[in-house]
Amino acid sequence: MKFIKFWLPVFVWGYVIYYLSDIPGLGTGLGVWDLILRKGAHITEYFILTILLVRAFRRSFRLPFKFMIFWPAVLSFLYAVSDEYHQSFIKNRCGTPWDVLVDTVGILIVVYLYIKKGNK
């Protein structure tokens, strides 16, 4: 039951990211707003993934606080890298290191918020 409650959301969200990355030529066609919306989506996707991973780690493992933040951040980053690699095979899409950096912003926001909050 613990797995379903805490880990299933991680896998479902990972699938949502994968699904969106699998859509050829995903975009709004709104020029500069398209860029802003897509980069904002990158940040939001990985912010949510990292939050879900932190939640799953905190409820599943007895690790020091710094590891409860470190491992979810690392896993989110690795997923971002694999997602960009996946996009490089999709028509009218490309995987870029720039997008991994944008994804990392979402991850680092979570890390910052948890560190600021402390081990509460």
Report pLDDT digits (tens) over 66-115. Answer: 889 999 999 999 999 999 999 989 888 888 999 999 999 999 999 999 99
8-state DSSP, 1: -
- At 68, the amino acid letter reads M
pTM comes to 0.91
Distance between CA atoms of residues 31 and 75, nearest Å: 32
Distance between CA atoms of residues 2 and 96, nearest Å: 36
Q: Of 42, 59, 53, 67, nearest to 12 (Cα)? A: 53
Which residues are within 8 A (CB) of 101 and not within 5 positions of it... i.e. 6 or more apart? none
